[in-house]
Amino acid sequence: MIVVVGKGIFGLSVAEFLSRQRQNKIVVLASDEHVPASRAAAANLSTKSQVFARDPHFELKISGKKNYPEWLKSLCHESAAFSLGELKSSFVSSRGRDLFSSVELADRQWNRVVQPKSEISARGLPEQSVVRVGSQEIEYGDEAWVDASFLLNLLESVCRSRGVEFRICDIANLANLEAECVDAQSLILCTGSQTPRILQAWNLSELPPSLGKSQRWSYGGTLAIDIPGWQMPDGISLLEYVSAEALEKVTFSGTHGKLYCSSVSVSCADKHHQNQPAEPDFFKIEAQQRSLISTLHKIFKIKLDLHEHHWRWGVRLGYGHRELVVEALPHTFSFLKGPLVVAAGAHKSGFLFAPEIGSLVGQKLQA
């Protein structure tokens, strides 16, 4: 038996991968106290080709993005509850665009991202990966967006159809965990921002440096709007507006009547309790909400009341400049026969790695 803890994007993606061969019993444990932060995501699959070509996970992100279409199609074919028609309105792969409120900001970003054609070619990217469009816009090739709720529900549907068991459990309580993990060969912790708190509750003193370095807690929100007949302009899947006034960024995504606005992110670090977030500053949150509403009207001429539509909220955790942590941890759990693996995606990067995370965890289990 393999136990996966957490039913956010990583937990469900790992359970889906491990259940493909149907050789092991897979159990997914989740607490009914916490809604996964994945549910608050707009699930923008942004790589902005050249900007992030310098990060250690760039190749993995590109691989995941390339695999998304076939992965989603295969899941839809397998699930009786989802159709390819729904997939067409839940995944878009096209261009991305940055829109700046000043030429100076656009110039600054352009100088960051522009690179010689030889470097672009060496990375296997198309020549038109980054293009200057006018004086205040930059366009990126091969950007994408996936509907977070659609993907999470699809993954759970497929897992259940393969016999994966879903159980409610007080994860942080070791006695309860042990009761659920009788005869467990492996334990995979996919609990996002809750990970440090849970590991501390389990009395695991030896944490990998990647989980303790430069932790960045934030409370993030996405505005979800249903607008019949609406779609992103000009074949764009992602549009980010960067304001000169406060250097704020608002990312717009969606298609076919769905619009997601993602920008609200307020630091909530607790200096006294580093393994858990502090209460966010709700005055700052409301100020950012109002700014987002104002930007929405400025860009798309859509006028909304602040409390008129649905906001999705979640606590996010970053680990320095690392966007992905997949590591086996030492443990002394007598009830666990094999490895304990932690899989965490920093902030909102989890969806980028979703098609690949199962394979990475599988390698750790076999090591």
Instruction: Report the C-alpha gap between 132 and 243 in whole angstroms.
Output: 18
* Span 48-104, pLDDT tens digits: 766 666 677 888 888 898 999 999 999 999 988 888 888 888 898 889 999 999 999
| Size of the chain, expressed as the number of residues it contains | 367
pLDDT at 72: 95
pLDDT at 9: 93
pLDDT at 54: 66
Residue among 122, 138, 108, 129 at smallest CA distance from 50: 129
Q: Where are the alpha helices (DSSP H) in the chain?
A: 9-18, 49-52, 58-78, 84-88, 103-113, 117-122, 148-161, 174-180, 195-201, 209-212, 282-300, 350-366
Crossing angle, helix 350-366 and helix 148-161, to 10 degrees? 30
Q: Check if the beta carbon of residue 152 is closer than 8 Å to that of residue 305.
A: no
Crossing angle, helix 9-18 and helix 148-161, to 10 degrees? 30
Phi, psi of 31 (to 5 degrees): -90, 140
Range of 25-39, 117-131, 179-193, 269-283 with top mean pLDDT? 179-193
Q: Check if the beta carbon of residue 73 is closer than 8 Å to that of residue 213.
A: no
Domains of the chain, first to last: 1-43+147-213+322-367 (3.40.50.720)
Which residue has tokens 């955790």?
Answer: 317
Q: For the chain, what is the mean pLDDT?
A: 84
Of the listed ranges 30-39, 266-275, 285-294, 351-360, the least confidently predicted one is: 266-275
* Span 220-232, pLDDT tens digits: 788 888 888 888 8
pLDDT at 254: 87
pLDDT at 167: 94
* Span 146-186, pLDDT tens digits: 999 899 999 999 999 999 999 998 888 888 888 988 888 99
Element spanning 80, H or E: none
Strands 137-146 and 44-45: antiparallel
For the whole prediction, is pTM greater than 0.85? Answer: yes
